[in-house]
Amino acid sequence: MLSKKNQLLTVLCIGALWGPATSQTSIQLSPKESSVLISKHIYGHFAEHLGRCIYDGFYVGEGNTTIPHTNGVRNDVLSALKELKIPNLRWPGGCFADTYHWKDGIGPKGSRPSIVNNWWGGVTEDNSFGTHDFLNMCELLETEPYLAGNVGSGEVQELADWVQYVNFEGRSPMSDLRRANGRDRPWNVKFWGVGNEAWGCGGHMTAAYYSDIYRKYATFMSDWSNTGGLYRIASGANSADYNWTETLMQKLPKNLVKGIALHHYAVIDWNKKGSAIEYTDEQYFKTMKSAWFMNELVEKHSAIMDKYDPKKEVALVVDEWGGWYEVEPETNPGFLYQQNTMRDAMIAGMTLNIFNNHAERVKMANLAQTINVLQAVILTKGEKMIKTPTFHVMEMYKVHQDAQLIPLQINSQSFVWNGEEIPAVSASASKGQNGKTYVSLVNIDPKVAQKVELNLGGSYAGVSGRILTAKQLRDFNDFDDANRIQPQAFSGAKLSKERLSLSLPPFSVVVLELNGKK
């Protein structure tokens, strides 16, 4: 039984007082049981030609005189994304990718043909942001590009030429064209998506038909060294379409595929997605339930992959995930612009914990999307830029990138709504290359604090941490108050030999750093 004091009061280091009930969760860490690395590529991002993600988000144009930029890319955006240490960036889509013809986006900008974005808002784009612009931006960001190839409306030769254009160092028609356009050395792009959502906007194909199409396109995407250097990623399942994964694993030869994609969004109801900021308690629960479904999806898709790939040589690549709501009032419905509250911080923390804990199979993921679209980490408005709660979660979690996974077992109390329940607490842990141990914890319950007891599997000399929470669940950062929600120091964790205890406030994310192992 908890004391009345603990039932009545949880004191945060940031000075806020909470008065909810408290439940208890236990976690057992097993630091000696794993050699699995949490790939940094799990923390990837996604930039589609959609709404204000590229134009007015990343790119404001070389002639802009009011917003500081480098070759047209906003300097504040570059700085913020480098703070996250983003490991990869997916482009140009999404659904847009299967309508995009890359040769329209190279050469003198004044000579590039325009394109109508049929998928997102019907706007006309001038192709001023193309292959050179994106790949040079990735160099500025010190991140790896992930190019999504056009399989839906493009031809095999078109994709083969793109690979040659960006990767071939010797003399060839495409590398000569690249040099004529001002780039001598290749970019050596490793990650390639062979189409996107082939079951839907990428062509409404069957799994069997797409498998044959994939084999054809992938065959002509040469790396010229025959070393398997290209990381080809197949268009994978829509959420719980397990037959799609089964078919691909049966039909795709391992020498042609490095990853199978998976797309899943936390959505209340696809026909009535609800507001990003004015949601009910019931809608909050349903969003969390949809987000937690990612755990089941990863486990079931992984089990299918294990049958055909027991050595786990093919990665599960969750290259679209995040929360999806109705657009903000008075914005273009095709632009998918939404605000970002503490609900989104809960989605991010929970989902990244799921990916970390399944890092043996999940080796890459991409949050949708980076700027001004869906669950963005950055929002822009003219000269102003803000970091969302999701940004702060990903910044706190970057300590897990390329760290050694520490397996854990968790016995969580439940978050209950109208007889339905999901775990209130999620967690993941790792040992960084600096020798320190990190534990990330999320309490999604909006009203009940969680007393957490951890058996660390070893003794540590000290613990520190940071917390992300807010006064209200529906709080968000806006252009009038950009720092309403941001991480604060957390000193509420108590360390005693191999045990650690703390109280997680409602709707909070905590990342702990343990050092000085004895």
Based on the number of CB atoms within 10 Å of its own CB, is 426 exposed (0-12), middle (13-18) or buried (19 or more)? buried
User: What are phi and psi for residue 279, nearest 5 degrees?
Assistant: -110, 150
| Helix, strand, coil distribution of the chain in percent, nearest 5 | 30, 30, 40
Which residues of 73-143 form beta strands (DSSP E)?
A: 73-74, 88-91, 115-116, 124-125
Give me 313's structure tokens: 């040589």
DSSP string, 254-295: GGG-SEEEEEEEE-S-TT----SSS--HHHHHHHHHHHHHHH
Closest C-alpha among 374, 392, 408 to residue 466: 392
Cα 217–222–225 angle (5° rounding)? 155
20 token code pair: 């909810």
Q: Enter the tokens of residue 5.
A: 């004091």
Is residue 281 within 8 A of residue 239, CB to CB? The reply is no
List C-alpha distances in Å: 118 to 49, 95, 320, 427. 11, 9, 20, 41
What are the Cα distances from residue 348, in Å, to 39, 227, 268, 444? 17, 36, 16, 11
Tell me how many degrees the CA angle 57-60-66 measures, rounded to the nearest 5: 115
* Given 48, 125, 320, 360, the catalytic residue: 320
Whether omega before 130 lies within 30 degrees of 0, making that bond cis, reads: no
> How far apart are the C-alpha atoms of 452 and 466, rounded to whole Å?
16
- Which residue among the candidates 197, 360, 395, 513 is catalytic per the annotation? 197
Element (H, E) at 246: helix 242-251
Residue 320 is among the residues annotated as catalytic for this protein? yes
Residues labelled as active-site residues: 197, 320
